[in-house]
Amino acid sequence: MKTFNYHTPKDIKEASKLASTSSAFLAGGMTSIPSMKLGLATYKDIIDIKHIKKLSGIKVSGKTVTIGATTKHAEVANSKDVKKAIPSLAKLAGGIGDAQVRNRGTVGGSIANNDPSACYPSACMALNAIIHTNNRKIEAAKFFKGMFETALKKGEIIEAVVFNIPDKSNYQKHPNPASRYAIVGVYLAKYKKEVNVAITGAKPVVYVDKDLSKALSNSFSVSAIDGIKLDSSEMNSDIHASGDFRASLVVTYAKKAVEAC
Partner 1 sequence: MASLVGSRVERKEDKRLLTGKGRYTADINIANQTYAAFVRSPHARAKIKKIDISKALKASGVVEILTGEEIAADKIGGLIAGWAIRSEDGSEMKVPANPPLAKDSANFVGEPIAVVFAESLDEAKAAVDLVKVDYKVLKGVINTAEAMKGETIHDGIDKNLCYDWLLGDRKAVEEAFAKADKIIKVDLINNRCVPNAMEPRACVVDYNTASEEITLYTTSQNPHLSRLIMSAFGGVAPENKLRVVAPDVGGGFGSKINVYNEEIVCSWASKKIERPIKWVAERTESFLTDTHGRDHVTHAELAVTNDGKFLAFKNETIANLGAYARVFGTVTPTYLFGPCATGVYTIPAAYTNVKAVYTNTAPVDAYRGAGRPEATYTIERLVEKAAMELGIDRTEIRMRNFPTEFPFKQTLVHTVDSGDYVASLEKAKQMSDYKGFEVRRKKSEANGKLRGIGVSSYFEACGIAPSAVVMSLGCGVGLWESSEVRFNPTGQVSVYTGAHSHGQGHDTTFAQIAADELGVGLDVVDVIHGDTDKGTFGMGTYGSRSLAVGGIAIVNACRKIVAKGKRVAAKMLEVSEDEINFKDGEFVVTKSNKKKTIGEIAFACYLPGSRDSEFKSPLPEGEEPGLIETSFFDPSNFSFPAGSHIAEVEINPETGEVKVEKYTAVDDFGRIVNPLVVEGQVHGGIAQGIGQALHENTEYDETGQLITASYMDYTMPRADNFPEFNLGFTCTHATSNPLGVKGCGEAGAIASPPTIMNAVIDALGGQEITMPATAEKVWKACKALKKPNSKAA
**Positions that interact with partner 1 (CB under 8 A):** 1-3, 38, 174, 176-179, 181, 239-242, 245, 248-249, 252-253
Q: Least Å distance between CB 132 and partner 1?
A: 31
Closer to partner 1 at the Cβ: 23 or 117?
117
Q: Least Å distance between CB 34 and partner 1?
A: 9
Closer to partner 1 at the Cβ: 74 or 183?
183
Closer to partner 1 at the Cβ: 159 or 209?
209
Sign of CA dihedral 158, 160, 8, 24: negative
The rounded distance, in Å, linking the Cα atoms of 27 and 68 is 12
Q: Cα–Cα distances in Å, from 26 out to 35, 39, 70, 168, 246?
A: 12, 17, 10, 34, 32
Pairing mode of beta strands 168-175, 182-190: antiparallel
Q: Least Å distance between CB 234 and partner 1?
A: 18
Q: Least Å distance between CB 143 and partner 1?
A: 25
Beta bridge partners of 65: 60, 163
Closer to partner 1 at the Cβ: 1 or 135?
1
Q: Least Å distance between CB 146 and partner 1?
A: 21
Closer to partner 1 at the Cβ: 179 or 223?
179
Q: Are 144 and 117 in contact (CB under 8 A)?
A: no
DSSP state of 72: B
Q: Are 89 and 163 in contact (CB under 8 A)?
A: yes
The rounded distance, in Å, linking the Cα atoms of 59 and 41 is 34
DSSP state of 127: T
Q: Least Å distance between CB 55 and partner 1?
A: 28
- Judged by DSSP in three states, 237 sits in coil
Closer to partner 1 at the Cβ: 217 or 252?
252
Q: Are 96 and 107 in contact (CB under 8 A)?
A: no
The rounded distance, in Å, linking the Cα atoms of 127 and 57 is 19
